[in-house]
Amino acid sequence: MRAIILAAGMGLRLVQPEGQQKPKCLLRFGDASLLERHLQLLKTAGVDEMVFVLGFKHEQVEAELASIDWKPATEVVVNSEFSLGSVLSVHTAAEALTRGGDVLLMDADVLYDERILEPLVANAHAHVNRLLIDRDFEAGDEPVKLCIDNGVPVELRKQVAAGLKFDTIGESVGFFRFDEHAAKRLAEIVANYVATGRANLPHEEAVRDLLQERSHVFDIADVTGAPWIEIDFQNDVTRAADEVLPQLNQLAGALR
């Protein structure tokens, strides 16, 4: 199984001192950066093939990877037009997306518990497509909502259309698992986005298109209760340090 980790963005909504901006995956919580936490959690989960899609100040991330001296070495691809949307980052990683086997597609700016990964990597040889949902989420325009009707995902967007029929709604964690057929189809959809001038869009739009084609069956894993947070704004950094990290430390201590 291969993990493709999207870490190209500039993080413009996160206030950092002028001249000291750095990729969000280098933010440190406790004694490790988000980058190193990804590596450790993925390795523990049995995923040792990792591809980082970098862009903004990619040299800093590559230096961090070199300092960690991770084995086996991680693969790096660079999206030179990182100021555009994450669709372009997924397109930049098209070769890794389509080289075969199941693929995890993950945002880099997430602090999370290992229980978030467990359902994604379960049955590693089963070749499945899987989405994660957290039913305990804050309403508003920011969370990407995942709507499910009778076990079938029917929407993946920040704005849910009025009148849409669904029986379950929650926040998408931003981590996806695709089997090789769905991964190849996603690569085709993303390539079409780029070819038609839609490279500025978030990659969730392309995933949404894949879901709505209904040509691939998707499982839904409910991770409600497992601590995690996506780092978009300064208050997310505060919540990550003050609320989520202590939960992760407590859980880690309980497992020792």
pLDDT digits (tens, 9 = 90+) for 144-156: 999 999 999 999 9
Residues 115, 200: contact at Cβ < 8 Å?
A: no
| Rg of the chain in Å (alpha carbons) | 17
Domain positions in the chain are 2-255
Give the 3-state DSSP-derived string for 15-40, with helices as H, strands as E and coil as C.
CCCCCCCCCHHHCEECCEEHHHHHHH
Task: Tell me the per-residue pLDDT of 83-110, one tens digit each, with 9 for 90 and over.
Answer: 898 999 999 999 999 999 999 999 999 9
Q: In this predicted structure, what is the pLDDT of residue 142?
A: 85
Q: What is the pLDDT of residue 124?
A: 74
Q: Does domain 2-255 have CATH number 3.30.70.3400?
A: no
First to last CA, the chain: 27
pTM of the predicted model as reported, rounded to 2 decimal places: 0.94
Tell me what the mean pLDDT of segment 138-165 comes to.
92
Check residue 256 and give its pLDDT: 43
Q: Round to whole Å and give the CA distance between 106 and 173.
A: 9
| pLDDT of 135 | 96
Cα diameter, the chain: 52
- DSSP collapsed to 3 states, 193-228: HHHCCCCCCCHHHHHHHHHHHCCCCCEEEECCCCCE
Query: Which amino acid belongs to residue 189?
Result: I
Task: Answer yes or no: is pLDDT of 17 > 80.
Answer: no
Kindly report, residue by residue over 203-235, the tens digit of the pLDDT.
999 999 999 999 999 999 999 999 999 999 899
Residues, the chain, total? Answer: 256
How far is residue 54's CA from residue 240's CA, in Å, rounded to a whole number? 23
Report residue 252's pLDDT band, with 50, 70 and 90 as the boundaries.
low
Q: Is the model's pLDDT at 48 over the cut of 90? A: no
